[in-house]
C-alpha cells in the first residue's frame, strides 16, 4: 500500500514508523528539512520537503498513484486543503484528516465532509479521542489502561500486580481451571520493562503489568481476582479546562449517575468559556499547583483527579500532589512516552497518551481486511485488533488450535452474534465472527495476512 503522510510531528512519525515497518510504501512531507531528514535516515520512508497542501509537492510525493493520504499537520485548515487537493487533482481513494477545532467537528456540519464538498473520508479528533480515553479510565478506576471493544461488550484492562494480588505465582493454565466461568484472558505481560505474550505455563509476579481481555460484565470480578477493588467516583476534579477537560466535564454532566465535577483552569478567558458551556460543573480560575486553590476545590474529598492540562510536567506534579492530599485515584495526561515509567514510582494510578489514542484511531482505517478497531499498546509495542472474519479468510471454519498464529499473537475473545466467548483450543471461528487479537508489533503483518481477503478494504 502506498501512503503519503503529511506532517511528521509525533503522530505522523509514529504512523510512518508503524507503516514502514510493515513494508508499506511510505512518503512523508513536512516543511522542516531536519524532520524529513531524520525520518528518511531513521525509517524506511521517502521524504519530501515543502508545503503539503501544494499540488506540486503532493505530486513529487507520488500522489497520482497513492492509496491513502493522511493529513496530520498542526493546522486544521491545511489538513482540509490537503484532502481537497488529493481528491480533486490526484483522485486519491482514501483521505484521513486530523482536525482539532470543535466547530469543524459539530455533528450538524457533518455534510461538510461529503465528496461533493470537502472530501475527507475519516476525520480524527485527538481531543475527543483523549476525552473518551479519560472516561474509560474512570469507568475502570483500578486499571492503569483500558479500552472498549466489540461495541462495548468487552474490555481490555491494564492491571498492575502488587504483593497482595491473590493469584501470584500461579500458572495461567491453572488460573483458567480455577476460574473456569470467568470470561477473561491474560493476553500480555510487561515484566522488567519488556512486553510479551504469555504461554499457558507462565506465572504472574508482583511488579508485573498485565493486559486482560474480558467480557464487560466480568470486569469487577476480573479486577478482584487480580487484587483490585472496584471504586465509585462521585466527586471528580479536572485540572485543565481546555478541549479535553471541557469534553470530559460535558460527558460527566450527562452521566446517568449524579457526579459532582469541578474544573480548575489557569487561563481566565478559557475558564469563563468553560463556565458558560457547562451547567452543573463548578469552574475555578487559578493554578492547578496552588495549594490554597486545591484546598478550596476540596481535593482531599475528591474520589478522582484528572490532570488534563497541555503540560506533561504540570500533570505529573499535580497528580502527585493530589495523591499526597489523599485522593485515591489520579489520572495524568502524558504526551511524552519516556515519562510513562515514572507513573509507578510517582504513585500515579493511570495515564493517557494522546499520541497512542490518535495513532490507534488512524490505524483503524488503514489495516487490510474487515478491521473494526485497533488499540495501540505502550509505545506501539503491540496492538489489540478487532476484526470481522470473512468467508475467504484463512481463519474461517477452523478451530483456534488449528490456526497458525505466530508466537507473539493471542486471541482475547470471539463475538458470535451478540455473545462474547472466551477462546478455547477447540472453539471454531466461523464466517461473520468478530475476533479480538493481541499481537506484538512485529507480528501484525502476519495477523493482517490471516485477515486479509482482497483489495475490497479500499
Beta strands in 72-153 (DSSP E): 94-98, 122-124, 145-149
Q: Give the pLDDT band of residue 228 (cuts 50, 70, 90).
A: confident
pLDDT at residue 41, rounded to an integer: 94
Judge whether residue 226 has pLDDT over 70.
yes
Could you tell me the three cell numbers for 342? 515514572
Range ranked top by mean pLDDT from 226-230, 281-285, 332-336: 281-285
Q: Give the pLDDT band of residue 457 (cuts 50, 70, 90).
A: very low
CA 354 from chain center: how many Å? 8
Q: Taking the domain 130-225, which CATH number applies?
A: 3.30.70.1450
pLDDT at residue 104, rounded to an integer: 80
Average pLDDT over every residue of 2-21: 89
Q: Give the contacts of 209 (CB within 8 A, at least 6 positions apart).
A: 144, 158, 159, 160, 161, 189, 190
Parallel, antiparallel, or unpaired: how do β-strands 122-124 and 145-149 relate?
A: unpaired
Q: Is 446 helix (H, G, I), strand (E, B) or coil?
A: helix
Give the span between the Cα atoms of 8 and 31, in whole angstroms. Answer: 9
Residue linked to cell 490507534: 360
Kind and range of the H or E element at 101?
A: none
Give the span between the Cα atoms of 133 and 352, in whole angstroms. Answer: 7
Task: Give the number of residues written for the chain.
Answer: 458
Bridge partners, 215 (sequence order): 154
Give the span between the Cα atoms of 20 and 25, in whole angstroms. Answer: 7
pLDDT at residue 107, rounded to an integer: 63
Least confident of 95-109, 139-153, 197-211, 301-315: 95-109
The tens digit of pLDDT for each residue in 392-439 reads: 788 999 999 999 999 999 999 999 998 999 999 999 999 999 999 999
pLDDT at residue 360, rounded to an integer: 75
Parallel, antiparallel, or unpaired: how do β-strands 94-98 and 235-239 relate?
A: unpaired
Range ranked top by mean pLDDT from 47-56, 103-112, 145-154, 216-225: 47-56
Judge whether residue 349 has pLDDT over 90.
no
Percent of the chain with pLDDT over 70: 95
Could you tell me the three cell numbers for 137? 479510565
The tens digit of pLDDT for each residue in 167-188 reads: 999 999 999 889 989 999 999 9
Could you tell me the three cell numbers for 424? 478455547
Give the span between the Cα atoms of 161 and 228, in whole angstroms. Answer: 9
Average pLDDT over every residue of 339-367: 81
Give the span between the Cα atoms of 235 and 395, in whole angstroms. Answer: 47
Q: Is 202 helix (H, G, I), strand (E, B) or coil?
A: coil
Could you tell me the three cell numbers for 248? 470530559
The HSE-up count of residue 300 (CA atoms within 13 Å, CB side) is: 5
Least confident of 19-33, 93-107, 288-302: 93-107
Q: Give the pLDDT band of residue 454 (cuts 50, 70, 90).
A: very low
Judge whether residue 286 has pLDDT over 80.
yes
Contact between 261 and 308 under an 8 Å Cβ cutoff? The reply is: no
236-357 to CATH, choices 3.20.20.140, 3.40.50.720, 3.30.200.210, 3.30.500.10:
3.40.50.720
The tens digit of pLDDT for each residue in 294-311 reads: 889 999 899 999 999 989
Average pLDDT over every residue of 101-130: 77
pLDDT at residue 138, rounded to an integer: 82
Average pLDDT over every residue of 87-106: 87
Judge whether residue 157 has pLDDT over 90.
yes
Judge whether residue 455 has pLDDT over 50.
no
10 Å CB burial of residue 404 (0-12, 13-18, 19+) is exposed
**Domain(s) of CATH 3.40.50.720: residues in the chain:** 2-124, 236-357
The tens digit of pLDDT for each residue in 122-152 reads: 888 888 888 888 888 887 778 888 888 998 8
Residue linked to cell 512519525: 13
Q: Give the pLDDT band of residue 121 (cuts 50, 70, 90).
A: confident
**Domain(s) of CATH 3.30.70.1450: residues in the chain:** 130-225, 358-457
Nearest partner of 71 among 365, 403, 402, judged by Cα: 365
DSSP state of 368: S
Judge whether residue 110 has pLDDT over 70.
no
Summary mean pLDDT of the chain: 88
Bridge partners, 122 (sequence order): 96
Average pLDDT over every residue of 373-380: 84
What is the CATH superfamily name and number for domain 358-457?
A: Regulator of K+ conductance, C-terminal domain (3.30.70.1450)
Residue linked to cell 508545503: 51
CA angle 83, 87, 91 (to 5 degrees): 140
Judge whether residue 69 has pLDDT over 50.
yes
Radius of gyration for the alpha carbons in the chain, expressed in angstroms and rounded: 23
Q: Give the contacts of 174 (CB within 8 A, at least 6 positions apart).
A: none
Parallel, antiparallel, or unpaired: how do β-strands 282-285 and 260-265 relate?
A: parallel
pLDDT at residue 456, rounded to an integer: 41
Tell which phi-psi region holds residue 372, choosing left (phi > 0), alpha (psi between -120 and 50) or beta. alpha
Distance, first Cα to last Cα, the chain: 10
Judge whether residue 323 has pLDDT over 80.
yes
Helix axes 10-21, 354-363, angle to 10 degrees: 50
CA 98 from chain center: how many Å? 15
Q: Taking the domain 2-124, which CATH number applies?
A: 3.40.50.720
Phi, psi of 188 (to 5 degrees): -150, 150
Amino acid at each position: 500500500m502506498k501512503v503519503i503522510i503529511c506532517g511528521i510531528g509525533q503522530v505522523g512519525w509514529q504512523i510512518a514508523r508503524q507503516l514502514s515497518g510493515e513494508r508499506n510504501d511510505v512518503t512523508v512531507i513536512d516543511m522542516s528539512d531536519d524532520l524529513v531528514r531524520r525520518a528518511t535516515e531513521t525509517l524506511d520512508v521517502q521524504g519530501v520537503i515543502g508545503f503539503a497542501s501544494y499540488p506540486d509537492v503532493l505530486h513529487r510525493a507520488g500522489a497520482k498513484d497513492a492509496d491513502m493520504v493522511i493529513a496530520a499537520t498542526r493546522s486544521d485548515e491545511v489538513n482540509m486543503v490537503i484532502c481537497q487537493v488529493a481528491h480533486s487533482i490526484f483522485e486519491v481513494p482514501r483521505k484521513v484528516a486530523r482536525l482539532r477545532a470543535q466547530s469543524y467537528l459539530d455533528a450538524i456540519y457533518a455534510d461538510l465532509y461529503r465528496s461533493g464538498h470537502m472530501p475527507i473520508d475519516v476525520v480524527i479528533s485527538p481531543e475527543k479521542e483523549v476525552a473518551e480515553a479519560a472516561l474509560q479510565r474512570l469507568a475502570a478506576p483500578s486499571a492503569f489502561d483500558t479500552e472498549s471493544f466489540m461495541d462495548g461488550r468487552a474490555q481490555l484492562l491494564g492491571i498492575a500486580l502488587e504483593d497482595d494480588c491473590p493469584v501470584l505465582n500461579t500458572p495461567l493454565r491453572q488460573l483458567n481451571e480455577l476460574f473456569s466461568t470467568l470470561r477473561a484472558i491474560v493476553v500480555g505481560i510487561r515484566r522488567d520493562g519488556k512486553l510479551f505474550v504469555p504461554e499457558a505455563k507462565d506465572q504472574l509476579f508482583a511488579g508485573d503489568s498485565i493486559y486482560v481481555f474480558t467480557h464487560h460484565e466480568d470486569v469487577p470480578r476480573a479486577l478482584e481476582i487480580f487484587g483490585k477493588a472496584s471504586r465509585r467516583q462521585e466527586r471528580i476534579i479536572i485540572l485543565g479546562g481546555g478541549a479535553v477537560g471541557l469534553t470530559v466535564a460535558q460527558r460527566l454532566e450527562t452521566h446517568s449517575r449524579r457526579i459532582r465535577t469541578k474544573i480548575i483552569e489557569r487561563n481566565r478567558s478559557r475558564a469563563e468559556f468553560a463556565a458558560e458551556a457547562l451547567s452543573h460543573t463548578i469552574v475555578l480560575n487559578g493554578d492547578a499547583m496552588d495549594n490554597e486553590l486545591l484546598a478550596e476545590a476540596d481535593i482531599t474529598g475528591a474520589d478522582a483527579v484528572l490532570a488534563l492540562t497541555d503540560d506533561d510536567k504540570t500533570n505529573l506534579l499535580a497528580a502527585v500532589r493530589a495523591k499526597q492530599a489523599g485522593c485515591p485515584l489520579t489520572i495524568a495526561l502524558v504526551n511524552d512516552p519516556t515519562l510513562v515509567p515514572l507513573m509507578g514510582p510517582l504513585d500515579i494510578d493511570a495515564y493517557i497518551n494522546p499520541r497512542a489514542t490518535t495513532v490507534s484511531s488512524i490505524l483503524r482505517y488503514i489495516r487490510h481486511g474487515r478491521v473494526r478497531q485497533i488499540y495501540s499498546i505502550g509505545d506501539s509495542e503491540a496492538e489489540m485488533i478487532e476484526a470481522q472474519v470473512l468467508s475467504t479468510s484463512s481463519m474461517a471454519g477452523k478451530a483456534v488450535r488449528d490456526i497458525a498464529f505466530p508466537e507473539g499473537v493471542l486471541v482475547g475473545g470471539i463475538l458470535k452474534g451478540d455473545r462474547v466467548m472466551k477462546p478455547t483450543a477447540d472453539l471454531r471461528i466461523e464466517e461473520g465472527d468478530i475476533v479480538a487479537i493481541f499481537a506484538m508489533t512485529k507480528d501484525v503483518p502476519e495477523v493482517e495476512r490471516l485477515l486479509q481477503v482482497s483489495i475490497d478494504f479500499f
